[in-house]
Amino acid sequence: MESRWLTDHFSIHAMMDLSDGLGTDLPRLARASKVEFKVDTTKLPLTRGANINDAVSEGEDYELMFAISPRDRLRLQQSWRKKFPNLPLTRIGSLNGKLKIENRKLPGGYVHFQQSG
């Protein structure tokens, strides 16, 4: 529902769910989009008892990660609060096509079809 609303009302540059964890999915999105990313780990939403490493590496939360133009940010925040008053929207960082931001090493999330051992 939220993803359809977003695409109907905003120009979304990239979007995916975080079912494999931010540490796996954000680098995938950045590589596919040929951009660099910067994450403010102090902004990551944490469930009770979780730490930053948990927030980056765990998946299956069905969170939605997406990118919009910075000029649409304020309008998105205001519209989101009206449409989804009980669902938080959190800006955790930025993408940059200038390739001057270093991609931080994030602890990985789940990687499918990886042989262990």
Residue 11: CA count within 13 A, CB half-sphere:
4
For the stretch 88-105, pLDDT in tens is 999 999 988 865 545 455
pLDDT, tens only, 54-92: 888 876 667 889 999 999 999 999 999 999 999 999 999
Residue 47's pLDDT band (cuts 50, 70, 90)? confident
pLDDT recorded at residue 96? 86
The pLDDT assigned to 80 comes to 97
- Complete domains list, the chain, with CATH: 2-96 (3.90.650.10)
Do 57 and 23 meet the contact criterion of CB atoms below 8 Å apart? yes
Q: State the pTM of this model.
A: 0.76
Q: Are 115 and 31 in contact (CB under 8 A)?
A: no
Q: What is the mean pLDDT of the chain?
A: 83
